[in-house]
Structure 1
Amino acid sequence: MTLDRRAVLTAALAGFLTLPLPRRAFAAGEVARVDDLIARMTIEEKAGQMTCLADSFRPYNPPNPQVGIQNEKDLAAEIRKGRVGCLFNGIGVAGARRAQDIALRQSRLGIPLLFAGDVIHGLKTIFPVTLAESASFDPALAERTARAMAVEATAAGLHLTFAPMVDVARDQRWGRVVEGAGEDVTLGSLFAAARVRGFQGRDLRRDDSLLACPKHFAAYGAVAGGLEYGSVDISEETLRETHLPPFGSAFAAGALTTMAAFSEINGIPATADRDLLTDLLRGEMKFRGFVFSDYTADEELVAHGFAEDERDATRLAILAGVDMSMQSGLYIRHIPDLVKSGAVPMETVDVAVRRILYVKTAIGLFENPYRSLNEEAEKARIFTSAHRALAREAATRSIVLLQNSGVLPLDPARGQTIALIGPFAEDRMNVYGPWAFYGDKGKGVDIATGLRAAMPDPARLLIAPGSGILTPIDGGVAKAVETAKAADIVILALGESQDMSGEAQSRTAIEIPVVQQALADAVAATGKPVIVLLRHGRALALHDGVANAQAILATWFLGSESGHAIADIIFGKKNPSAKLPVSFPWESGQEPFFYDRKSTGRPVIDNRTEYRSRYATTDNSARYPFGHGLSYSEFALEGLKLSDTALRWDRAIEITARLTNKGARKGSEVVQLYIRDRVASRTRPIRELKRIQRVTLAPGESKTLRFSLSRADLQFVGAGSRIIAEPGAFDLWVGQSSVGGLKGTFTLYAEG
């Protein structure tokens, strides 16, 4: 299937995305109810609807600083006073019903609470981390897993998830790369829309519909140096062309909430940026939902040096367009006085409250305040066999075969003795990945368990950890070397722990930890064939005994079914088909590195390197480029044809190429179409992904692939933030990664 979202992307760039205005979407009685509530509410109750607090009725100790109310009694008192509109990060129907009972029966106006949570890649059934799943290059898979997450989350008493994260991430030192779809705008936009559709389903009022909240608006993935909570300093063109399209795609798919970024953009913190949250988001992009602050981000305007104190921070955030304050409590403490003093107009508060009440109306919360609070559903819909089967499928389709000298797949019938070495060999604590704190510890399948289940004689699996994740084990390397020598083949399970990726986990060196590298080098010296299983939440710079292994698999954090999925690939039950959503550099110091970079005035051409755009110690290239991924099948592309070398202004050209499976196994390949604008009024990237097509072929089977390009695909952000396409020559490639491929050219001709 060819994935074509050029209309969405073009609209996102142009700022003309539209959603139905809430008043058009609701019945007259629903509009009247919201109007009546707002007319009756005190300013304290309005500020309460704009306040989101951690759920003390059913705490789950998520990874956030413990601030504000932390007990059920005090939180209940606030709900009775109408001073809370949303609770977050607790799960469980019983606790949610207690809280909702108080809101409905004991508060003056009986406005139902909204229950939210961080369901990023699973509730109890944990799916691969978002970055891993994006390696499938299959948005339909992401839509299916998001739907399963929604079914579980709503069964556990949630109405909204703070996902998907749609930040384009181009510096692998940033820990939150793991939460998004990687470095590419087109891929990120496709997955953003798919995940929103999956979470929300076709009917927002169904009890298994989970509101999506794309985050972090905007450009959080561009923090300088990959430093968490850092500053963003980018051009208007880069903001609009690189970082806004995935949000536009998510909003077009129906997302009704979003979250402001922690970071500042060009000197103004996003939480206080009216140009960003009102003029651009609401004005140009026509977003009609409501905006959350991130966790205490409004309060942090003081630390930014942008607000004088908490009262001033509250004023700046509400005037900028932040509708709901998360956890700081600033809105309930300061909005009443700010309105009384005239510093914040009542009309501004009413608009924010109206947005929140309309979203509650959209999900049917007034008609059915106990929706998604069904104890029978809680028992029946969580951690089901169907969800676990989907988790296994998603995990196998997320594993990228980076290199293979022919050692893979292993044949379990051969009876080989396998040495499984490394700190992750039997580890269950790091199979889920970051932001999976609802998952039950110990229920994830580790690598050893998965391999044994697939082996006719599990006794032929020899295990030695060799080292800890960051610290040595006394005698561990010697024991690992002894184990390797006793085996026919070695599998090295190396990489990052789950707390080395995610929020606040920026790293200066994106490499295998020193003790694990030493282990790998020692095992490699035995001369035994080595297969490396990387566990990671970002691209890594690989060296020596790891980089030179006979086979390397990027296995990320794969979730509940990790071990089984890895075994499926290792033993050839499944044929790998994933592709890299991030570029693997040669060295950490190349970061930020991404495939669609600019050529500069002195590119490396014909291996000429003197006085060229390169590092003195390495090429300005990737070890494994974006879009790279091998298979146990051999796929060949040939016969590139263009329907015309002239692309007329309001026409399209068709591109075809023939893909053949020349291997002995059925397999899937992701074929990618890239373009380059040779000459433009703004320098353009060396390549830009425009189309992807996943094809499954039997051995010896061929298929002609068809793509279409129009002027809309060639547009970019020009002077004055205008969306333009310019006549001239373009290169295109149809290939299996962002490097190489079949090359063609065409020319865009001016209108008329």
Structure 2
Amino acid sequence: MTPVSARVRGLIAEMTDAEKLGQLQIVFRPRLEDAAQLIRDGIGSVFWPRSAAATNEFQRVAVEETRLGIPVLVGLDVVHGQRTIAPVPLAQAATFDPALVEELAALAAAEARSGGVKWTFSPMVDISRDPRWGRVVEGFGEDVHLTSTMARAMISGYHGSSLRSPRAIAATAKHFVAYGQPEGGRDYNTVDASEHRLRNVHLEPFRVAVAAGAASVMASFNTVAGRPMHANHGLLTAVLKHEWGFDGVVVGDAEGVRNLIPHGIAEDLADAAAQAYEAGLDVEMGGAPSEVREALLARVDRTRLDDAVARVLTLKERLGLFDQPYVDEAAEITAPTDEALRLTRRAAVRSAVLLKNDDALLPLADHRRILLTGPYATSTDHLGAWSQPFGAPAGSIADEFASRRPDAEVSVVAGVDFLEDDDTGIAAAVEAARDSDIVVLLVGEPSALSGEAASRSDLRLPGRQEDLVRAIARTGVPFVVVIETGRPLIVSDWIDLAPSVIVAWHGGTEAAGAIVDVLLGDADPSGRLPMTWPRSVGQIPVYYAHERTGRPATTGGTLTTTTEDIGLHGPDNVQEKYTSKYLDLELGPQFPFGHGSGYATFSHGSPRLSARRIARDESVTLSVDVTNTSTRTGDDVVQVYVEDVVASIAPPVRRLVAFERVTVEAGATERVSFRIGDEQLGFRLADGRLVVEPGTFMLHVGSSLDRTQPVAVTVERA
């Protein structure tokens, strides 16, 4: 039960049933005049009306023109920036830098609250292991530990030291739960997850977010084991509120309550609303119309109703709305500051992932004739999905590059568009390439192809962009490829042709400058992949922390036509044939989770443990020396994966349990240390209890999954 102040108890005692229901609704994007009237009618929450002045008018109506004078809660999807647009969340995860993510969230909170926004529907902490799902762009990728760490950092940035601060907004952990595992990668689709997977994968980032003080949690659109989440008492109440003690607000997603009707579990809207509130929902996004109120009140338990109202009013109290409902209109931030631009540019740089640099073409040398080609050469579509239209726009890479290299002859030929099936411009790009010393190919998917309701069945570069890559490769002119995207893409058809490839994601307002920084070597592309990049859509879902199979593959398969080839005439190749692989695909992904490097190079010493054997409830210190073996300062991301050698359940082959991004000067050595204990070695049972089983654990330490060194620690029996 939410701790309730005397003020909140007094208000609830005075409220009519209609006023209580009004507090449990957020109006979904109404016209300004309609919203003002709804506030007079008792609506408790609204979406942001796009200015501090308009927000103050809403608050004036609520405070001065309603019977109890309860201020409204103003919400908005501040996903990766308000005025200054930061890299998309998936790119922020690629930084492996939680302190930076916290700074970005604090910046977004300050800008948003200055305009009257008090409540954001962010961060998204869904574990996303299917890149066909468009909303992977909105979260932190496939890994439980990375997602949990970034969720904690973002919540801390949004909340600051106090929700009452004029620079803080209330964070919402979404979407509860398992929304990131839709069948077929299709948004809003069914999810069926075991208790084991729920506890150890999908619920864990939410548990961390609740422990970090998330002010609210948003229910997801999907079903879990047949029960839509907006009416799932077992998860919304039994786990979230009772087991974890969550005392904040559970908010529905847009029209999520109404969706219970097409889900097939509610007869009408009153039935849907009653089921949702009984399950543990506190605020409906969209708002039940007044005509269903009587039917709803006839079904909803009054104790449950008062609990929901108390949660909403308590959040308003925590935000200081009762004492100061208004914002200073003169202090509203309507454009980025220089400091904000520097921060988001640094984030865009640190999120860039160097996939390969075979011929060391990057950073670019002092080439005299440079061709920029591909749709992202001149496009300003760098902001990414879930960027509000009032955010600061981005410039073009062509303009930024030309301003930075006035000494060079910079040609710009788009070659192809993002989506059009038109290759007539490729010939001009090829001709320009032959007259150039180097070509920079700027390709990717536009922002609109990722985000909500943006699932894709084909993850190759859209349009004729791959044809452009192959045509440039045939010229023999050296070239590098920069990919802007909101998800992992399939690059297997052309990746071997490209010597150097960078993933720049959708980098926000400062994306163009950051990309040029990386290309020219003014900054290192030292991000790491937060999601696995598949070789083929047929591999999906493909993720590194998969459970062990009884017949693991050691090589890829081969299409065969004779019984002799498949091992039926002898035992020699039976073990290779009958393994978990595809006959028509090489083993493993194109690029694994955590993959990436930079222009600086590093070596790791042998990992050391403070003890080789520990008891349960004890921890051990793991240390490794990181040496910069290059002539330039750079960042390494040290990753620690655990392998449970023998367990009572089939464990993941490896599981990230710790990481640290470390800056090392040229020729210097830095020691990086981690505490490894129960949270890192254990797993959760179906009832949520954390267990650490005795036995040997291999700790794999390195710069990526395929570059690690093992060291063993044993947990002794009691």
Tell me which residue corresponds to 2:178: 219
Tell me which residue corresponds to 1:393: 346
Tell me which residue corresponds to 2:370: 418
Given the superposition, is the C-alpha separation of residues 308 and 547 from structure 1 closer, same or farther in structure 2, using an over 3 Å criterion?
farther
- Aligned residue for 2:75, secondary structure, equals strand
Deviation of the 1:54 alpha carbon = 2.9
Deviation of the 1:547 alpha carbon = 4.3
Tell me which residue corresponds to 1:358: 314
Deviation of the 1:408 alpha carbon = 3.5
Distance 1:40 1:711 in 2: 49
Distance 1:664 1:333 in 2: 72
Aligned ranges for residues 431-450 of structure 1 at < 5 Å? 431-440=382-391, 443-450=393-400
- Aligned residue for 1:619, secondary structure, equals coil
Identity level (%): 39
Matched, 1:282 2:264: no
Distance 1:287 1:382 in 2: 36
Distance 1:552 1:116 in 2: 39
- Aligned residue for 1:726, secondary structure, equals coil
Deviation of the 1:191 alpha carbon = 0.3
CA contact (8 A) 2:699 2:711 kept: yes
The one-letter code of the counterpart of 1:437 is Q
Deviation of the 1:723 alpha carbon = 2.5
Tell me which residue corresponds to 1:456: 406
Tell me which residue corresponds to 1:11: none
Q: Can you list the C-alpha shifts for 1:379-419, whole angstroms capped at 9, x where unaligned?
A: 5x74111101111111000100000024343456x243111
Consecutive unaligned residues of structure 1, counting only runs of 5 or more, are: 1-19, 24-30, 57-70
CA contact (8 A) 1:524 1:545 kept: no
TM-score (norm 2): 0.95
Deviation of the 1:699 alpha carbon = 1.3
Matched, 1:549 2:498: yes
Distance 2:227 2:425 in 1: 51
The one-letter code of the counterpart of 1:527 is G
Tell me which residue corresponds to 1:61: none
- Aligned residue for 1:167, secondary structure, equals coil
Matched, 1:50 2:24: yes
Matched, 1:735 2:702: yes
TM-score (norm 1): 0.91
Aligned ranges for residues 473-484 of structure 1 at < 5 Å? 473=422, 475-484=424-433
Deviation of the 1:748 alpha carbon = 1.4
Tell me which residue corresponds to 1:26: none
Deviation of the 1:145 alpha carbon = 0.4
Tell me which residue corresponds to 2:329: 375
The one-letter code of the counterpart of 1:502 is G
Deviation of the 1:719 alpha carbon = 5.9
Instruction: Select which of 169, 173, 177 maps to 1:210.
Output: 169
Tell me which residue corresponds to 1:15: none
CA contact (8 A) 2:32 2:49 kept: no
CA contact (8 A) 1:314 1:331 kept: no
Which deviates more from structure 2 when the two are superposed, residues 73-82 or residues 595-604? Answer: 73-82
- Aligned residue for 2:332, secondary structure, equals helix
- Aligned residue for 2:506, secondary structure, equals coil
Matched, 1:649 2:629: no
Deviation of the 1:209 alpha carbon = 0.8
Tell me which residue corresponds to 2:538: 589
- Aligned residue for 2:604, secondary structure, equals strand
Distance 1:332 1:220 in 2: 30
Given the superposition, is the C-alpha separation of residues 336 and 349 from structure 1 closer, same or farther in structure 2, using an over 3 Å criterion?
farther
Distance 2:354 2:704 in 1: 13
Deviation of the 1:474 alpha carbon = 6.2
Deviation of the 1:351 alpha carbon = 0.9
Aligned ranges for residues 12-23 of structure 1 at < 5 Å? 22-23=3-4
Which deviates more from structure 2 when the two are superposed, residues 240-249 or residues 141-150? Answer: 240-249
Consecutive unaligned residues of structure 2, counting only runs of 5 or more, are: 557-574
Deviation of the 1:331 alpha carbon = 6.2
Tell me which residue corresponds to 1:259: 218
CA contact (8 A) 1:44 1:336 kept: no
Deviation of the 1:504 alpha carbon = 0.3
The one-letter code of the counterpart of 1:432 is L
CA contact (8 A) 1:151 1:208 kept: yes
Tell me which residue corresponds to 1:681: 648
Aligned ranges for residues 8-407 of structure 1 at < 5 Å? 22-23=3-4, 31-56=5-30, 71-82=31-42, 84-327=43-286, 329-330=287-288, 332-339=290-297, 341=298, 343-370=299-326, 373-379=327-333, 382-407=335-360
The one-letter code of the counterpart of 2:400 is G
Distance 1:73 1:711 in 2: 55
Distance 1:714 1:291 in 2: 31
Deviation of the 1:656 alpha carbon = 2.2
| Cα RMSD for the two superposed structures | 1.7
Number of equivalences:
700
Deviation of the 1:476 alpha carbon = 0.4
The one-letter code of the counterpart of 1:423 is P
CA contact (8 A) 1:54 1:90 kept: no
Q: Can you list the C-alpha shifts for 1:110-158, whole angstroms capped at 9, x where unaligned?
A: 1101111011001121000000011010100000000000111111220
Given the superposition, is the C-alpha separation of residues 712 and 154 from structure 1 closer, same or farther in structure 2, using an over 3 Å criterion?
closer
- Aligned residue for 1:330, secondary structure, equals coil
